[in-house]
Amino acid sequence: MELEGSYLVVWVPHEAVAVLLGFQPAEGEPVGPWAFAGRVHGESPIGVWLAVDTMLTPGEEELSQEDQPIYLLRWEWIMRARLFIEPPRQIPRIGFLPPE
């Protein structure tokens, strides 16, 4: 399947976010998967290049990325993915939410 040019939303574990963004959640902040949403710029044997325009934190805070940084998201980090023709109005939830 050709992904380049498609709009992709992927969920990655917080450990991957620590590697990608270089920080750990502050004490008391929710820990869990983050969603990265953006346009696919290419694929490589180890992952997908994604121009990220929005991130969704475990606390469901949407973080806009005005400069749309391009991240290499490793295949083994991707827990769930959803492919779109056009960007969705909001990042949809996929899967089960942990009990509160």
Residue range 40-58, pLDDT digits in tens: 999 999 999 999 999 998 8
| Angle, vertex CA 87, rays to CA 50 and CA 44, nearest 5 | 20
Instruction: Give per-residue pLDDT as tens, 23-33.
Output: 777 787 888 89
pLDDT over 70 at 34, yes or no: yes
Residue 35 has pLDDT above 80, yes or no: yes
The answer to whether residue 98 scores a pLDDT higher than 60 is no
In this predicted model, what pLDDT tens digit does every residue of 70-94 receive, in sequence order? 999 999 999 999 998 888 777 766 5
pLDDT band at residue 100 using 50, 70 and 90 as cut-offs: low
46, 74 Cβ separation under 8 angstroms: yes
